[in-house]
Amino acid sequence: MIHVDFIRHEERIIAFEMDGHADFAEQGADLVCAGATSIAFGMVNAISERMGVEPVMEEDDGYLYYSVPEELGGSEDVQILLEGMEHQLISLAYSYPDYITINSKK
């Protein structure tokens, strides 16, 4: 199962962590894993391109941790993108509740 945690400070998303594999299908054919990965990396890339900064992240097989760069913490654009990502993943979890969970930590 994929677990996604959104870490917040004062209602703002400051980081997210995605860990695990969906195991919906075999590797290379797992649509849930591909969807979640595409959403997460697409958002990280969108923030980097829009704001002109390198991403602050760690990644490994089945693991991604992204932290909003400190200088972007107050950016409304970054928050809109991250909240959009959160809602996309919530929609995916709604359709595939046995394969992905979403948690927001305050």
> What pLDDT, on the 0 to 100 scale, is given for residue 21?
93
**How many structural domains compose the chain?**
1
Determine phi and psi for 74, rounding to 5 degrees: -95, 5
Is 3 assigned a catalytic role? Answer: no
User: 3, 9, 21, 87: which is the annotated catalytic residue?
Assistant: 21
3-state secondary structure of 17: strand
User: 3, 9, 33, 87: which is the annotated catalytic residue?
Assistant: 33
> What pLDDT, on the 0 to 100 scale, is given for residue 106?
62
Task: Provide the domain limits for residue 61.
Answer: 2-105
Question: What CATH number corresponds to the domain at position 100?
Answer: 3.30.70.1490
Residues 6+ apart with CB under 8 A from 19: 2, 3, 4, 62, 63, 64
Query: Over the stretch 30-86, which tens digit does the pLDDT of each residue have?
Result: 999 999 999 999 999 999 999 999 898 999 989 999 999 988 878 999 999 999 999
> What pLDDT, on the 0 to 100 scale, is given for residue 35?
96
Question: To 5 degrees, how large is the angle CA 47–CA 71–CA 83?
Answer: 40
Residue 32: Cβ within 10 Å count: 21
Q: Please report how many Cα atoms fall inside a 13 Å half-sphere around the Cα of residue 53, on the Cβ side.
A: 15
On whether the pTM is more than 0.85, the answer is yes
